[in-house]
Amino acid sequence: MSLPLTRKDLMIVNMGPQHPSMHGVLRLIVTLDSEDVIDCEPILGYLHRGMEKIAENRTIIQYLPYVTRWDYLATMFTEAIMVNAPEFLENIQIPQRASYIRVIMLELSRIASHLLWLGPFMADLGAQTPFFYIFRERELIYDLFEAATGMQMMHNYFRIGGVAADLPYGWIDKCLDFCDYFLRGVIEYQQLITQNPIFLERVEGVGFISGEEAVNWGLSGPMLRASGIQWDLRKVDLYESYNQFDWKVQWQKEGDSLARYLVRIGEMRESIKIIQQAVEKIPGGPYENLEVRRFKKAKNSEWNDFEYRFLGKKPSPNFELSKQELYARVEAPKGELGIYLVGDDSLFPWRWKIRPPGFINLQILPQLVKKMKLADIMTILGSIDIIMGEVDR
């Protein structure tokens, strides 16, 4: 770390890696001149678990429970990219009902992630009340997840070719009730927060990123759209069934922490619109493409028998990846979550590279906090929205 020669009596402060204050085990070495930030050096790796190498030594089905530990607040998205990459690699078709169920689960997970961004972000700014409010709605989402998947956080619900189980009886009605209730909750958040003079004083003009800077740094998600770039992979890549719903990309042109807050609030509203349309138009039919269970090489295997694939519905012990490569991506709550996958005609991926949005978005932090006040560090860091599980992997 280089220090300016013209300054004397600079103070070096260690922020983190205490989890409650730093949104995970992130450590910042901050150089201060009184309250002014001169330099900031993020120290990563405290939560590194070798997720990529573990993936290269597991079959796809064996690795599915691991992926929810990347971004543990938006677990449906890690499961989605986990199954989307092999599906694209092998050109596997998804039943329409399964695609609609995936969209519903993904958007519920997006709302849950944004809620657990909003509460701690406001607590960083000194407002404790919203931190308790957001758990009220988030718990309702987790109840819906538990009813459909059996788990509140680590679901293990997505499968290659569909989902693990169909929606239970009465689940759709409960989901519609939640949508109506949550829209009132968003209005309550906006009345409490958006025009609050103390909140506006802390976020307006703080952490400014221009559109050109956002593109050059490779930012994605709300970080990119808050700087005036209308880029959303749900519109660009048209994965799952998003092209069948009427919704708008949320964006702002100011590029500061307030703009990032407004984008996420708008995204929660749009997610509700997508869920309502998906629930009302969800088709019948199968929730999983059972032909995926058939082995290509071992054609005489007992796992290809009718009884295993259609009656018992027992999962195949493995899934063969052909010798080709691709990059798959989804629009996660924090930005572009991608997987670079290389197959090798074997059960294990030859290369499995994770492109986490939080890791890419975090790299601009030192530039944003320089020449700002010490108190602005937590405002800017909170507006980036990071989860160290996916940053460190």
Taking only Cα atoms into account, the Rg of the chain, rounded to an integer number of angstroms, comes to: 22
Using alpha carbons, list the distances in angstroms from residue 392 to 26, 109, 219: 10, 21, 17
Residues 12, 10: Cα–Cα separation, whole Å = 7
Higher pLDDT: 8 or 294? It is: 8
Give me the pLDDT at residue 272, please. 92
Cis peptide bond upstream of 17, omega within 30? yes
**Highest-confidence segment of 60-64, 256-260, 287-291:** 256-260
Segments making up each domain of the chain, as ranges: 11-295+312-392
Helices 257-281/374-384 angle, 10° precision: 20
Give me the pLDDT at residue 264, please. 92
How sure is the predictor about 291, in pLDDT bands with cuts at 50, 70 and 90? low
Share of the chain above pLDDT 90, in %: 13
How sure is the predictor about 308, in pLDDT bands with cuts at 50, 70 and 90? low
Which CATH architecture group holds 11-295+312-392? Orthogonal Bundle (1.10)
Q: Are 33 and 54 in contact (CB under 8 A)?
A: no
Q: Supply the mean pLDDT for the chain.
A: 84
Give me the pLDDT at residue 289, please. 72
From 144-158, 314-328, 357-371, the region with the lowest mean pLDDT = 314-328
Which tens digit of pLDDT belongs to each residue from 197-251?
898 988 888 888 888 888 999 898 899 999 988 888 888 888 888 888 888 888 8
Q: Are 277 and 246 in contact (CB under 8 A)?
A: yes
Which tens digit of pLDDT belongs to each residue from 52-75?
888 888 888 788 888 888 888 888
Give me the pLDDT at residue 102, please. 92
Which tens digit of pLDDT belongs to each residue from 88-120?
887 888 888 888 999 999 999 999 999 999 988
Residues 138, 142: Cα–Cα separation, whole Å = 6
Give me the pLDDT at residue 107, please. 92
Which tens digit of pLDDT belongs to each residue from 8-45?
678 888 887 776 666 778 888 888 888 888 888 888 88
